[in-house]
Structure 1
Amino acid sequence: MLSEDLQTPRTAQPATTGDDPLLRLQQETQPAGDNTGLRATTHPEEIRITGIAVMCPQCGARRDWMVICDRNEISIRCRCAHQWVERELTRADYMAMIGEGIGQDYPSLEAAAQAAGYDGALAGAYLS
C-alpha cells in the first residue's frame, strides 16, 4: 500500500518566456494583425533590383508590372501574363513599394490579374 508522502507530485510545464524559437519564427513570418494571404498592386515604372532593371523574359517588357505578395513570396507579373517569383524582393520591399494602406486584396491570383489587366488580354500595351 502506497502512502501519500511517497508519491511524487507531477511538475507543471514552465511557462514560455518569449524565448521560444518556434514562436519567434511564427511572429517574424506572420506580421501581427495581417492575415492577408494575397495582395497585389500595379507598378508602372521600372523596377530595379541591385541596380539592374527587371525585364520580362517572355516579351521583353521593362515597365508596367503587377507586383504580387503571396504571404512572404513576391512575384512580378507582366501584361503578357508571364509571372515569376522574384527571390531578391521581400515582403518588406513590397510594403515599401506600395506604402501604407495601398494595394488591393484579392481572393485569388486569377481575380487580381483579371481586375488589373494582367491576364494576357493587354499583352504588349503600356498603360501609363
Structure 2
Amino acid sequence: MLSENLQAPRTLVPETAFGDDPLLRLQQETQPAGGNIGLRATTHPEEIRITGITVMCPQCGARRDWMVICNRNEISIRCRCAHQWVERELTRADYLAMIGEGIGQDYPSLEAAAQAAGYDGTLAGTYLSEPRPE
C-alpha cells in the first residue's frame, strides 16, 4: 500500500520582526557588559617554563618579563619588543593559576592593554624588574 504523504509536515518557523536576528541577539547576550571584549592581561616578570622549556621571544631573544594575554580561551604571550604569539600549550586554567583569583586587568582592546603595561614596543630590550632568586 503506497501513501501519497510519506513526509511529516514541516513546522513553520514564525516570521521574525526586522532587527530581531537570533544570531545578533546571542552575540549581544554573550558579550560582557560595558563593551569589554573579554580580554584580560597581566604582566609576568619571571621566566615562563612550558613542559620544562623556558619561553624565549623568537624576535629579540628575551627570556622573561612577559605580558600574558587571555582573550576568552586563547592565551598569548607578548614581549616588550611588541612581538606576540599564541601559546597553544597554555590554557585559560594555566592563566588563572598564573595570576591568582581577582588579579589581572580587563582592557577594552589589545592595543590599550599593551600601551598601559609598556608592551607596545617603546620599551623593547628593557627589563623593569629583577627575577626573584630561587
With normalisation by structure 2, the TM-score equals 0.69
Count of matched residue pairs: 95
Offset from partner CA, 1:40-92 (integer Å, 9 cap, x none): 00000000000000000000000000000000000000000000000000000
Specify the SS of the correspondent of 1:81.
coil
Q: Distance in 1 between matches of 2:104 and 2:58?
A: 25
Matches within 5 A, 1:1-80: 37-80=38-81
Specify the SS of the correspondent of 1:42.
strand
With normalisation by structure 1, the TM-score equals 0.72
Q: Distance in 2 between matches of 1:87 and 1:71?
A: 13
Specify the SS of the correspondent of 2:62.
coil
Partner of 1:94: 95
CA shift for structure 1 position 36: 6.3
The amino acid across from 1:126 in the alignment is Y
Q: Distance in 2 between matches of 1:37 and 1:107?
A: 8
Structure 1, unmatched stretches of 5+, are 1-29
Q: Distance in 2 between matches of 1:95 and 1:121?
A: 28
Q: Percent identity?
A: 93
CA shift for structure 1 position 102: 0.2
CA contact (8 A) 2:37 2:108 kept: no
Q: CA RMSD in A?
A: 1.3
Structure 1 segments of 4 or more deviating over 2 A? none
Offset from partner CA, 1:4-23 (integer Å, 9 cap, x none): xxxxxxxxxxxxxxxxxxxx
Q: Distance in 2 between matches of 1:36 and 1:86?
A: 20
Q: Distance in 2 between matches of 1:37 and 1:90?
A: 15
Structure 2, unmatched stretches of 5+, are 1-29, 31-35, 130-134
Determine whether 1:126 maps to 2:112.
no
Partner of 1:21: none
Matches within 5 A, 1:99-114: 99-114=100-115
CA contact (8 A) 2:41 2:104 kept: yes
Q: Distance in 1 between matches of 2:80 and 2:37?
A: 24
Specify the SS of the correspondent of 1:96.
helix
